[in-house]
Amino acid sequence: MDQIAFLEPRPAVLSRRREIVADLLDLLPEGCLVHEPRELVPFETDAFVSYRRLPLAVALPETTQQVAAVLKYCHRYGVPVVPRGAGTSLAGGAIPQEDAVVIGLSKMAQILEVDFANRTATVQAGVTNLAISDAVSADGYFYAPDPSSQLACTIGGNIGMNSGGAHCLKYGVTTNNLLGVKLVLIDGTIVDLGGKALDAGGLDLLGVVCGGEGQLGIVTEATVRLVARPEGARPVLFGFDSSEEAGACVADVIGAGIIPVAIEFMDKPAIEICEAFAQAGYPMDVEALLIVEVEGSEAEMDAMLASIIEIAGRHGVKVVKECQSATEAALIWKGRKSAFGATGRIADYICMDGTVPLSQLPHVLRGTAEIVAKHGLRVANVFHAGDGNMHPLILFNANDPDDAARAEAAGNEILKLCVDAGGCLTGEHGVGIEKRDLMRHQYSEADLAQQMAVRAAFDPQWLLNPSKVFPLEGRPAA
């Protein structure tokens, strides 16, 4: 199903492979360059496993200065560079190409400073998302964005993709929790954007670097906002007879001015898959499930839940299940957060990530079911309903090329449906290569040209992660 094209490798780079490796070995300490083909295999793809390319070499620098030295070299000799965090991208954001040097941040994994008085943590880009919260939790703080891959994914990757998570309904996504970065530009220049002070003194360059998918520079350090952990948090399960009723309930809860920390949605196939994996105690006799989490003191949680239960009652809620212990609460989230992994155990899947306006949820859920049925496939829906960020998992058999092609076609149709409903192609996973060729469905030529012009302002030669985000045809001449 190799349909998404990569840029043609530059012959001038491929032919100098040996020289480039020798030069990079000189630039980096021992053990910081991977170049044996066999050892390059772990870097050939990310969590978007249907595509893979063996890179020219992988640099694993230990300092910002080393990142700068490698970038300066690649810039001078016109060698493409692909940044990599933990390689958990679902959109192919970290997949390399044959003529590229991968810069992996895995050796830069130190927490540099925790500053409770200013509620900030300054960390190296290779620190995992969860490690930040772990480092501050004993003092009653946490780092809010919580992508499902938070055990593995790095803050550098989170910044590249502007990652979200289940709890961003209340706390926002990466860009809302990021105060500053140390950024290495393609020519090796090191700049500091932002810091512990709020907002930019000039143009908000940090705002466009976050979510820039590694095309604007390589982030080596980040200063993030810490938040005081709430007194308590309680997830509650609401089971419904239909997806439409669950979707309408979400819209009414938000419309009533109630903003829980999280509202997660699962349909029957997703419930079955996750329950089999996590034994989370999900009700099995419902067609759709909402996990609604509220937080605060006991009294606050009780008051908010009473309002939500009343609204759910108007939508014929069949089951309301409050968890009785912290263990039960943890299980409920384990089930939800392992949805992708659990699905991967029973079938191959591709995960879509379109976001739609809340009022369109029932319509898009119906349309998704129709599209998938038309292609003779199955779908499990599990997503962040409170902000309309959908995640249909299209199940298929990767060993059957026809099946795989149909899954990809169905996925593209679903994303177009999301855009046509007033939404977007991707809410938190990023464009990568996966959605690159659909960009014209969402943006006009002028829209894309403006984005590409900004990209070129940072990287005029298009060396950084060059096969991603923007359709390959119609790019400006570098």
Where in 80-119 is the site for other proteins (CB under 8 A)? 115-119
d(CA 118, CA 195): 11
Q: Does 369 bind other proteins (CB under 8 A)?
A: no
382 vs 404, which CB is nearer to other proteins? 382
Residues 6 or more apart whose CB falls under 8 angstroms from that of 279 comprise: 331
Nearest to 174 by CA among 427, 378, 412: 427
207 vs 344, which CB is nearer to other proteins? 207
Segment contacting other proteins by CB under 8 A, of 8-16, 44-52, 238-246, 381-389? 381-389
Q: Does 427 bind other proteins (CB under 8 A)?
A: yes
Nearest to 78 by CA among 478, 455, 476, 469: 478
165 vs 239, which CB is nearer to other proteins? 165
Of 242, 357, 437, 461, the one binding other proteins (CB under 8 A) is 357
Tell me the closest approach of the beta carbon of residue 112 to other proteins, in angstroms: 14
Residues 155-214 within binding reach of other proteins (CB under 8 A): 161-162, 164, 168-169, 172-173, 175-176, 185, 189-193, 195-208, 210-212
37 vs 117, which CB is nearer to other proteins? 117
Residues 428-457 within binding reach of other proteins (CB under 8 A): 428-431, 435, 439, 442-444, 446-451, 453-457
Residue 151: Cβ within 10 Å count: 13
d(CA 245, CA 120): 41
273 vs 361, which CB is nearer to other proteins? 361
d(CA 292, CA 259): 10
**Residues forming a β-bridge with 267:** 288
Counting Cβ atoms within 10 Å, is residue 402 exposed (0-12), middle (13-18) or buried (19+)? exposed
Q: Does 141 bind other proteins (CB under 8 A)?
A: yes
d(CA 406, CA 408): 5
Tell me the closest approach of the beta carbon of residue 305 to other proteins, in angstroms: 12
Tell me the closest approach of the beta carbon of residue 473 to other proteins, in angstroms: 16
Tell me the closest approach of the beta carbon of residue 59 to other proteins, in angstroms: 22
User: Helices (DSSP H) in 41-173: which residue ranges?
Assistant: 64-77, 129-136, 155-161, 168-171
Token pair for 102:
């991968």
56 vs 193, which CB is nearer to other proteins? 193
Tell me the closest approach of the beta carbon of residue 327 to other proteins, in angstroms: 22
d(CA 136, CA 134): 6
Tell me the closest approach of the beta carbon of residue 446 to other proteins, in angstroms: 5
d(CA 370, CA 245): 18
Residues 214-253 within binding reach of other proteins (CB under 8 A): 228-231, 251-252
Residues 253-272 within binding reach of other proteins (CB under 8 A): 254-255, 257-259
95 vs 390, which CB is nearer to other proteins? 390
Tell me the closest approach of the beta carbon of residue 212 to other proteins, in angstroms: 6
Convert 89-101 to b/e letters by CB count within 10 Å (16 or more is b): bbbbbbbbbbbbb
Q: For residues 41 and 58, is the Cβ–Cβ distance under 8 A? A: no
Tell me the closest approach of the beta carbon of residue 306 to other proteins, in angstroms: 11
